Structure 1
Amino acid sequence: MDVDAFPRLIEALMRPDAYPHPADPVEHIETHISHVFLAGAFAYKLKKPIDLGFLDFSTLERRRRCCEEELRLNRRLAPDLYLCVVAVTGTPDASRIGGSGSVQEYAVQMHRFPQEALLDRQELSGDLIDRLAVKVAEFHARIPVADTESPFGTPEALLAPMVENLAQIRACALLPDPCERLDRLETWTRARWQALIPMIERRRRNGYVRECHGDMHRGNIALVDGEIRIFDAIEFNPFLRWIDTASEIAFLVMDLEESGATALARRFLNRYLERSGDYELLALLDLYKVYRALVRAKVMAIRLGQADPDSAQGSRDRITCIRYLELAESYTARSRPPRLLMACGLSGSGKSCLGHQLREALPLIHLRSDIERKRLFGISEAVSARASLDAGIYFPTATEWTYARLLRLAEGILGYGYDVLVDATFITGARRARFWDLARRRRIPALILALDAPVDVLRSRIICRQAENRDVSDADLRVLERQRLALEPLAGEERARAVFIDTGRGPTLPEVLARIESAFVSERASTEQ
């Protein structure tokens, strides 16, 4: 279709009689690369006849192929939303969905859902975020892995769109002069990329470059009839889709943080890591968060170039673009060294409950011994592995393996610059000593959260937990009694570096947070003396 005729076709598709079903009224949504028509029970998405470098919709054949790819890719995560590819026929001034006559355009037909179903238009709950994290982790586990002989996911393929984003934002003459900030971001990006090349290559060899969604943020996720539907995957450029799964996670984390939902961003990240076991992605997370914030800034810059810059929408797009640039720059700063926390206590003392609260309140990664033990044996966290004492996956050597894994993970995560909360019983001084030694070797502050409750409370919690089958822990009353007999209480220096929490009394989260910060301040002061 002639580019000049395209606006006439868009106008024609605003008429209800352009559709083979009831469609009055027709609503039109325009993005920087597409037009979407909400018509009756359906939505129709057309590609704009444009070439932006990172995408090329300049010919009808390219647009048709991209519509078919969009259908294939999005049926992976939203199979009931994506129906088929339809032809737009007739003439530019009398266009019709389907019908006879010459093909003017192609569109993807989808089931329509209320715009209020989009996650960026509703208040999000912690439960929904947990479900989303599990869904994404399971999606990443089953999608195709890039062939190591392919060009996807190489260090060069990773850097190219990062630099291109910066160039396209620079080209937007409608922004206040952002050159100094963009120069700082480019310098940081190139230096961080250079330092991470070995990690990028290793993850590529180990199968973390996969055919992902590519554009996973709240605006492309909807809650439809209570089910999470992730749509609008990138079909137009395989290099933006065949990416490290870390890049996909960074987009959602960045998007939640940009919206002000920092606690939910932390919750999503922790739940994804628990489900996937891919703690190594933390090494790349800041680089990818900068990249993803710049992707959104670029989209705003492109929209500015397509609309009236003096309009109310143009003003909003300019403000949003600048906000994403500021967010990207904030990810390049490290405020303090990482910290290590050990949550210790008998089964039922509330370690994991507190850990779930702390991982939303603090920028930390929560490691649970119950989950990592099952991962060692290839058992899903949802599967019970209860057995007789010292049997199944709970024989003594397996316990040592579990603590060794927790130690390796904690050291890696601390090395990536993130705080760590290790959640385990830690009933012996020898097990705790390994983590104190880790803190000394890395010269970082460390603290014990010593949780306890009256024994009748511990027993009641374990009985309820087993009856409800609502936790990954397999500990029962026999295990609790074994732990009580083997417990080596904190003494000496350990007591001095501990925050004691009676969960039977139920201190508030603000109380616990204040005591944690106070303890770290005291430790820092004693270290500096």
Structure 2
Amino acid sequence: MSNPLIEALSRPSLFDHPVDSFELIETHISWVLLTGPYAYKIKKPVDFGFLNFTSLEARKTYCEAEVELNRRLAPNIYDCVLPLYGTAEAPSFNPGGEPFEYLVRMHQFPKGQLLSQLQERGELSLEQIDQLGKILADFHASIEVAAPDSDYGTPDQVMAPISQNFEQVRPLLGEDTQALRQLELLQGWAEDSFQRLHPLLTQRKEQGFIRACHGDVHLGNITLFNDQVTLFDCIEFNESFRWTDTCADIAFLIMDLEARGEPQLANHCLNRYLEISGDYQSLALLSFYKAYRAMVRAKVSLFMMQGADEAGREALLREYHKYAELAESYTCVPFRFAAITHGLSGSGKSTASSKLIDGLRIIRVRSDVERKRLFGLAPDASSDSELNANIYTPEASQRTYDHLTQLCTEILGYGFSVVVDATYLKQQQRQQIHDAVEELGVPFLILSCEAELDNIRQWIRERAAQGGDPSEANLDVLEQQLKSSEPLTEQERLYRKLVKTDDKDSVDSLVARIHQRFE
């Protein structure tokens, strides 16, 4: 080890606990020494403009902030801040004189449990990603909102680090004319997008979406700790990076999954987050923030090149280009379409719409979730409603379907395809959303979900027994629907896709059939 402090700390006798072994992890801003029971993090005395750790007092302050802030999401990992006495060559944890350095002590989690490592081994599951989406949505709902008179989240404050990114990257590209040209185009797109989104950024500030976020949500900062998905290592060194739009947090995570070649997991996480948070408006900002986050990662790759050997520099340069190309992909206008499900309660509509999330860049809106949200209920809460009462009156249903139409057109306007998961058993309900989509000039599909009636009844009973599903439809609701549902018209059958939900092949082939429809 070339660092005298790190070398001196690699002695078991210094610690008040058993040491299994020593392992050093180095980033551009810190050293982390792994000992087995604990990990010790030391901040490098560096100044990158967006952070400044050059003074001992600053390092102490940011160590304390790191522990306090990370205990919000990882209370079982972050232990304490420890002062170091003596000298770099002969450090001691025993008090004596003035401290010359400070460390963050963390409980060390098992090796190989970072979600980035799970992903590399092909072991990252949809269940873990769904947990992550929920954790982040719940976290955003609970954290402090920025004061209305603060600079945090104002349009100019949002744009400042984005502009700084480009200015910091440009001199590091040397005379690479192609990379410089790409950077110029990306900066132009960011500036044009900023002007277009300026009113929305102002609105987000007014609506309280600027909060004390994590600020660095990617798979390398998420682990399994005691078998629980746990986010750690939030931004503590720059409050303007942490006090940001909640959209910027989820955008970093989605970008990271996409950068790792996991679009399915990215789409699942995004849909889970939106379903819980209800913040569909954030989709308007998602590409803007994803491109920013991609360029942050690209910049870090260039920073890490300083001091690397030739092979390391080449690898980091490839990483820069990967992230820059990803940022460029976010500037493209995607193809969009809208779909609704159609079928009896319990007929497998959510199963069918889940297949679309698996295979397409699409946002799902569920009527069962949105109905409850309209009436102030959590998705898994019981409304204690009887048939045709409380939140299931005809008036409440009309309000729900009006809301679904509005959400559908908004999401399409944000540049995303959308599937609305609802029964749509009334022709007027189907016509309402069809007309709204047609007005936008977007293709429209009806996914008719059918199954044997005995299977539907069994699925409803099983769903009720398992609990936890937003749907409250029971067998009485099913019987009423059988009497009152209105069949598809001849015109509607022209843009219908039949899904036999008790036929695995019919469900599994749905995405391929939709692709064929639009080829």
- Per the shorter chain, which TM-score range? over 0.9
TM-score where L is the length of structure 1: 0.94
Contact 2:165 2:296 in 1 (8 A): yes
SS in 2 for 1:341: strand
Shift of residue 282 of structure 1?
A: 0.1
| Residue of structure 2 in register with 1:130 after alignment | 130
Give the 3-state SS of the residue equivalent to 1:171 in structure 2.
helix
Equivalent position of 1:10 in the other structure? 6
Could you say if the C-alpha distance between residues 143 and 98 of structure 1 is closer, same or farther in structure 2, counting changes exceeding 3 Å? farther
Please state if 1:269 is matched with 2:267: no
Distance 1:24 1:387, change over 3 A: closer
Write the letter of the residue equivalent to 1:500. Answer: L
Give how far 1:173 is off: 4.6
Identical-pair percentage:
44
What per-residue deviation string (whole Å, max 9, x for no partner) do you get for residues 222-270 of structure 1? Answer: 0011112111111110000000000000000000011111100000000
How far apart are the structure 1 equivalents of 2:175 and 2:268? 34
1:225 and 1:17 map into 2 onto residues whose CA distance is 28
CA gap of 1:265–1:392, structure 2 versus 1, over 3 A, is same
Structure 2 residue aligned with 1:526: none
Q: Point out 4+ residue stretches in structure 1 off by more than 6 angstroms.
A: none
Distance 2:511 2:58 in 1: 56
Contact 1:174 1:309 in 2 (8 A): no
> 1:332-374, CA deviations, whole angstroms, 9 ceiling, x for partnerless residues?
11143x2110111001111011111211211111011000001
Runs of at least 5 residues in structure 2 that lack an aligned partner in the other structure: none
**1:162-187 deviation digits (Å, cap 9, x = unpaired):** 11111222221578452011001000
Alignment of 1:4-403 (within 5 A): 7-122=3-118, 123-173=123-173, 176-177=176-177, 178-305=179-306, 307-310=307-310, 312-336=311-335, 338-403=336-401
In 2, the alpha carbon distance for the partners of 1:98 and 1:132 equals: 40
TM-score, reference length from structure 2: 0.96
Is the CA contact 2:338–2:443 (under 8 Å) kept in the aligned structure 1?
yes
Between the aligned partners of 1:434 and 1:346, the Cα distance in structure 2 is 19
* Mapped contact 2:287–2:331 kept (Cα < 8 A): yes
Report deviation, 1:386.
Answer: 4.1
Q: CA deviation at 1:437?
A: 0.5
Inter-partner Cα distance in structure 1 for 2:12 and 2:513: 64
Matched, 1:431 2:429: yes
Once the two structures are TM-superposed, the CA of residue 326 in structure 1 deviates from its matched residue by 0.9
Kept in 1: contact 2:334–2:415 (CA 8 A)? no
* Distance in 2 of aligned mates of 1:175 and 1:75: 44
Tell me how far apart the structure 2 counterparts of residues 12 and 101 of structure 1 sit (CA, whole Å): 19
Opposite residue 128 of structure 2, the aligned amino acid is L
List runs of 5+ in structure 1 lacking aligned partners: 1-5, 522-529
Deviation at 1:104, TM superposition (A): 1.3
> How much has 1:192 moved relative to structure 2?
0.3
Q: Deviations over 1:49-95 (max 9, x none)?
A: 01110001110001100001101100000001111110111112111
RMSD after superposition: 1.5
Distance 2:140 2:507 in 1: 34
Contact (CA 8 Å) 1:86, 1:98: kept in 2 or not?
Answer: no
**What is the rounded CA distance, in whole Å, between the counterparts of 1:141 and 1:411 in structure 2?**
25
- Partner residue, 1:464: 462
Pairs aligned (count): 513
Tell me the secondary structure at the aligned position of residue 334 of structure 1.
Answer: coil
Residues in 1 aligned to 2:173 and 2:513: alpha-carbon distance in whole angstroms: 51
Q: Which residue of 2 aligns with 1:502?
A: 500
Q: Which amino acid in structure 2 is aligned with residue 318 of structure 1?
A: L
| CA distance in structure 2 between the partners assigned to 1:318 and 1:147 by the alignment | 40
State the distance in 2 between where 1:368 and 1:173 align.
Answer: 46
In structure 2, what is the Cα distance between the partners aligned to 1:29 and 1:503?
50
When residues 499 and 508 of structure 1 are mapped into structure 2, their CA distance, relative to the original with a 3 A threshold, is closer
State the AA in 2 paired with 1:445.
Answer: P
1: CA distance, partners of 2:57 / 2:86: 17
Question: C-alpha distance in 1, partners of 2:32/2:502?
Answer: 55
Alpha-carbon spacing, 1:204–1:98, altered in 2? closer, same or farther (3 Å): farther
Q: Structure 1 residues 232, 285: CA separation in 2 closer, same or farther (over 3 Å shift)?
A: same
SS at match of 2:339: strand
